[in-house]
Chains A and B, each alone.
Chain A
Amino acid sequence: MLELKHVSKAFGSHKVLEDINLEIQEGEIISLLGKSGSGKSTILNIIAGFEEADKGCMEYQNRVIFSEQFFCEPQNRDIGFVFQNYALFPHLTLAKNIAFGISAKPKSLQKLS
């Protein structure tokens, strides 16, 4: 389960998110709808850890991944992210692109046929 509690974010004086509360159950599919600049991408970036919220807290699978005292780095969240535009590594082959995420895991978990 993913839970956002009272999450706020501003870029300079521009408030993008204010007091966002969101709960997503396991297996549930959620769509975020809103006009351009309303903060949809910011919410996703905050969930993935690419942006840091100013206030609030977040829990993922009963584990705090963000609070005002704690920030879990993106590589330690175990949250997948599909980018709107290409995010392929240009210096790697197709196979190595696919294997990239696996190579970052501990040796015991690396299995790619």
Chain B
Amino acid sequence: MKKVFINKYTLGSTFFTLLILLPITMILIDAFGGDSETLEHLKATVLEDYIFNTLKLIFFVSILSLIFGVVSAYITVFYEFRFVTLFSILLALPFVIPTYILGYIYSDIFGFFSPLHLWLKDLGIVEKHYFDILNFNSVAVILSLGLYPYIYLIVKSSFLKSSSALLYPALSLGKSRTALFYQVILPLSRPAIIGSLSLVIMEVVNEYGTVSYYGVDTLSTAIYSAWFGLNDPKSSAFLSMIAMSIIFVLLAIEKFSRGSSTYKSEAISKKLKKVPLLGIKKYLAYLFLSIPVFFGFILPMIWIVFYAYRYARDVIDEEFAISILNSFVSSSFSAFFIVFLAFFISYTVRIHKNNYTKYLTKFSGIGYAIPGVVIGVGVLSLFSTIDHALIALLDLDELLLSGTLIAMVFGYVVRFLAVGLNMTESSYEKISINITKASRNLGLNYWQTLLRVEFPIMKKTLLFAFLLVFVDVIKELPLTLVLRPFNYETLSTKTYEYATNSMIQESAIYALVIVLLCFIPVLLSNAKQKEER
């Protein structure tokens, strides 16, 4: 038989990619399908505010996250002082607390009835003008505290890789350390800085829990309320399209500014000698590094553990067990499908390396750049169209797919397939193609090679990918809120529910379970790094 490009692998991957793109296509169809009365009203009144607030939030969170992330990475990589290793570890830990949980915690700590506020009131400091934390500025600070680790981790890794071969020649040419930073290190790390910043921006546009609780109207809250509050899918789709456009314009700018440079850098064994920090500079470094560590991790963790312990007896009940079970079921199914699809698509790319398959992976991973609430709206629209077609065709009297676990898992697959793809693709890159060729040469076909050679080599990575996706799904809030079946509660929706019912402290035990699960990827990546070393 003639070897052909169109086979079960390319056809399968194309089918899955088209499936992933369907919800996004539905949004575009709905968005361009003419204006509804509600949409006309939104355009005339609040649309401008939604866009402005979203852009303003992106701007301020980017600035603050850059300051926390880049400066912390610089201090910990290039300077030597007591506890620097401890700070290096602690600075990454705000990562384990989802931003909406951080938002709820700070609304409780600094809220009107918080012990702090009551104490200040007793002292007579805030008798008349209590400080209102539920505002835009607080959201910007809270999101920055939760998201800066993206920048810190990626930029730190870039600094570590550049802190050797290129820096010694620069020093020997008479450059000062300050000049070295601005003229060599920073330009070398620019792709890492811009790349990590784009991740932060995606998270900001995706953010729903904190912004809705703090009463800041962004596109994300508007999409949700247009669908569920105003009951107008057209408006929701139109707002979703604007949110997607913002992300894609920013990603295009990132790609344009990055040009052909990549994040990869040669790992060089000799590192630049760290400079000891002494005197006032040392104390300033302690002060600076303590701010994100304390407010991003230590204080929220104290709050979570304290209230989880305090309310454990009241909150740990059947409902708690069911929400854990629901979270585990939906996350396990989603993670399984995602890893399977990622493995399949990466395999197709491996055996058919060309532009077509390259774009297949790019498109199938597009969901990660799109806010969860937007994907939710797209999936709702898609499944309701299918349901209505089935009702007309088969004379059914109820919706078959909408509001089911299938819709929810499909939404997660669309959103998080990129996480699985990143893992499987990078793992495949590490397996020499000669291994596959040798297996074929020794008598195994594609399928046997996949099962007997590639799968066993990759199984650790696949497990790692499964756990990463599992945790991502567990902490995902907006998509879950939009797509969950009626009365289906997960850990994230229960945290949200308690918070919106002014029972934030009771949500602590749910938050604690999410946070403990979020430690898994951190521990795993540490173990993986050690193994690679």
A joins B in a complex: yes
Report which A residues bind B (CB closer than 8 A). Answer: 48-50, 52, 68-71, 73-75, 79-81, 83, 85-91, 100-101, 104-105
Contacts of A49 in B (CB 8 A): 440
Report which B residues bind A (CB closer than 8 A). Answer: 1-3, 432, 434-435, 437-445, 448, 453, 456-457
In the assembled complex, 7 residue pairs joining A and B whose CB atoms fall closer than 8 Å, in A order, are A50-B440, A52-B3, A74-B441, A75-B443, A83-B437, A89-B453, A104-B443
A-B interface, 7 closest residue pairs, ranked by CB to CB distance from nearest: A104-B443, A101-B442, A71-B3, A87-B438, A87-B434, A74-B440, A91-B456
The reply to whether A48 and B442 form a contact with Cβ atoms under 8 Å apart is: no
- The one of A48, A52, A68, A69 in contact with B437, judged by C-beta atoms closer than 8 angstroms, is A48
User: Which residue from chain B places its CB closest to the CB of A74 in the assembled complex?
Assistant: B440
Query: With A and B bound together, what is the CA distance between A68 and B457 in angstroms?
Result: 35
The reply to whether A73 and B445 form a contact with Cβ atoms under 8 Å apart is: yes
Minimum distance in angstroms from B355 CB to a CB of chain A:
10
User: Which residue from chain B places its CB closest to the CB of A71 in the assembled complex?
Assistant: B3
Query: With A and B bound together, what is the CA distance between A87 and B432 in angstroms?
Result: 8
- Which DSSP category, helix, strand, loop or mixed, fits chain B's interface? helix
User: Which residue from chain A places its CB closest to the CB of B437 in the assembled complex?
Assistant: A50
Query: With A and B bound together, what is the CA distance between A86 and B443 in angstroms?
Result: 18
The reply to whether A87 and B435 form a contact with Cβ atoms under 8 Å apart is: yes
The reply to whether A69 and B441 form a contact with Cβ atoms under 8 Å apart is: no
Contacts of A68 in B (CB 8 A): 2
Query: With A and B bound together, what is the CA distance between A91 and B456 in angstroms?
Result: 7
The reply to whether B440 and A73 form a contact with Cβ atoms under 8 Å apart is: yes
Known: A70-B1, A87-B435, A89-B457. 19 other contacts (CB 8 A): A48-B437, A48-B441, A50-B440, A50-B441, A52-B3, A68-B2, A73-B3, A74-B441, A75-B440, A80-B441, A83-B437, A85-B434, A86-B434, A87-B438, A88-B435, A89-B453, A91-B457, A101-B443, A104-B448
User: Which residue from chain B places its CB closest to the CB of A97 in the assembled complex?
Assistant: B438
Query: With A and B bound together, what is the CA distance between A90 and B460 in angstroms?
Result: 13
Minimum distance in angstroms from B461 CB to a CB of chain A:
12
Query: With A and B bound together, what is the CA distance between A70 and B1 in angstroms?
Result: 5
User: Which residue from chain A places its CB closest to the CB of B443 in the assembled complex?
Assistant: A104
Contacts of A79 in B (CB 8 A): 441
Minimum distance in angstroms from A107 CB to a CB of chain B:
13
Contacts of B443 in A (CB 8 A): 75, 101, 104-105
Query: With A and B bound together, what is the CA distance between A49 and B3 in angstroms?
Result: 10
Minimum distance in angstroms from B351 CB to a CB of chain A:
11
- The one of B3, B438, B448 in contact with A81, judged by C-beta atoms closer than 8 angstroms, is B438
User: Which residue from chain A places its CB closest to the CB of B5 in the assembled complex?
Assistant: A52
User: Which residue from chain B places its CB closest to the CB of A84 in the assembled complex?
Assistant: B434
Contacts of B435 in A (CB 8 A): 87-90
Known pairs A70-B1, A75-B445, A104-B448; A83 contacts B440 (CB<8 A)? no
- The one of A71, A88, A91, A104 in contact with B442, judged by C-beta atoms closer than 8 angstroms, is A104
User: Which residue from chain B places its CB closest to the CB of A101 in the assembled complex?
Assistant: B442
The reply to whether A71 and B437 form a contact with Cβ atoms under 8 Å apart is: no
User: Which residue from chain A places its CB closest to the CB of B4 in the assembled complex?
Assistant: A71
Minimum distance in angstroms from B454 CB to a CB of chain A:
10
Query: With A and B bound together, what is the CA distance between A83 and B3 in angstroms?
Result: 23
Minimum distance in angstroms from B6 CB to a CB of chain A:
14
Query: With A and B bound together, what is the CA distance between A73 and B449 in angstroms?
Result: 13
Contacts of B2 in A (CB 8 A): 68-71
- The one of A85, A90, A100, A105 in contact with B439, judged by C-beta atoms closer than 8 angstroms, is A100
Query: With A and B bound together, what is the CA distance between A86 and B438 in angstroms?
Result: 10
- The one of A50, A71, A87, A89 in contact with B1, judged by C-beta atoms closer than 8 angstroms, is A71
The reply to whether A75 and B441 form a contact with Cβ atoms under 8 Å apart is: yes
The reply to whether A83 and B444 form a contact with Cβ atoms under 8 Å apart is: no
Contacts of B437 in A (CB 8 A): 48, 50, 74, 81, 83, 87
Query: With A and B bound together, what is the CA distance between A86 and B3 in angstroms?
Result: 27
Minimum distance in angstroms from A78 CB to a CB of chain B:
8
Minimum distance in angstroms from B2 CB to a CB of chain A:
5
Query: With A and B bound together, what is the CA distance between A91 and B442 in angstroms?
Result: 17
Minimum distance in angstroms from B428 CB to a CB of chain A:
14
Known pairs A70-B1, A91-B456; A86 contacts B432 (CB<8 A)? yes
